[in-house]
């Protein structure tokens, strides 16, 4: 464990990006704990996949259920099983799947959880990514830096938010899993599909039609081209 940082708290949705964050954090930290948030998302089956991931790697896992909190204050196709391919009804420049300040709230929960474990130097890991930007403003690096400052002030201790995938494409996240010997597990044990379809495809599980599946399939096809070239 020499040279590794003490402990990381990984926000684990059960999807491709947070799975690769687990792989990254295992190399960087001496200990890991995963935190998942159930918020009555239409693809709530992703929580089952988060459980499979943590069981596979033997990682401590805490699930917080905030039930109808988001749906009581906002609109999103992820909360009402609507059309994910249209624009958001409150913000036409954003996708229908946008949930205002979701990352901010999830990171606040994770930081508060770590604080409750008596952590004095909190390391959070999240799969936020700008390269495959889906229109979510709270996935940007600038936001993550400011959120870390806000949490540090709120908890009166140092909080760092690690975003190892921020500048990577989906093809590169597949490559990371491939190089670490965990590509098959990535396909089998993750759920990215907004519709929660568990059908197995060459690129992983999903319906193949929602924005998340299209992005994942495109990334996998690019990854395959790259390793075969």
d(Cα 15, Cα 137) in Å, to the nearest integer? 19
pLDDT, position 72: 75
* Burial class of 229 by CB neighbour count within 10 A (0 to 12, 13 to 18, 19+): exposed
Can you tell me the mean pLDDT for 154-182?
97
Can you tell me the mean pLDDT for 56-68?
95
d(Cα 101, Cα 104) in Å, to the nearest integer? 5
Per-residue pLDDT tens digits for 96-138: 666 778 899 999 999 999 999 999 999 999 999 986 555 688 8
d(Cα 179, Cα 37) in Å, to the nearest integer? 29
Per-residue pLDDT tens digits for 12-61: 999 999 999 999 999 999 999 999 999 888 788 999 999 999 999 999 99
Mean pLDDT computed over every residue of the chain: 90
DSSP state, 191? B
Whole-prediction pTM: 0.91
d(Cα 180, Cα 88) in Å, to the nearest integer? 38
Please name the residues in contact with 164: beta carbons below 8 A apart, sequence gap of 6 or more: 20, 21, 24, 25, 125
Sorted by where each begins, the domain ranges of the chain are: 5-168
pLDDT, position 130: 84
- Token pair of 156 as six digits: 């009166």
Asked: is 5-168 a CATH 3.40.50.720 domain? The reply is: no
């Amino acid at each position: 464990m020499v040279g590794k940082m003490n402990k990381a708290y990984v926000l684990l949705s059960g999807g491709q990006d947070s799975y690769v964050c687990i792989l990254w954090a295992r190399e960087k930290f001496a200990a890991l704990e995963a935190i998942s948030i159930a918020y009555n998302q239409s693809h709530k089956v992703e929580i089952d996949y988060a459980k499979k991931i943590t069981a596979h790697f033997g990682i401590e896992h805490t699930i917080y259920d905030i039930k109808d909190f988001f749906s009581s204050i906002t609109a999103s196709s992820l909360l009402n099983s609507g059309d994910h391919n249209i624009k958001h009804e409150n913000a036409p420049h954003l996708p229908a799947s946008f949930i205002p300040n979701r990352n901010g709230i999830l990171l606040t929960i994770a930081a508060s959880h770590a604080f409750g474990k008596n952590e004095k130097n909190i390391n959070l890991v999240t799969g936020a990514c700008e390269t495959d930007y889906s229109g979510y403003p709270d996935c940007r690096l600038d936001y993550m830096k400011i959120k870390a400052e806000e949490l540090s002030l709120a908890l009166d201790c140092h909080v760092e938010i690690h975003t190892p995938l921020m500048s990577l494409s989906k093809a590169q996240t597949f490559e990371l899993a491939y190089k670490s010997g965990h590509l098959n597990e990535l396909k089998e044990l993750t759920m990215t599909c907004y519709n929660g379809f568990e059908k197995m495809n060459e690129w992983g599980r999903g319906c193949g039609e929602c924005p998340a599946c299209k992005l994942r399939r495109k990334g996998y096809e690019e990854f395959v081209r790259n390793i075969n070239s």
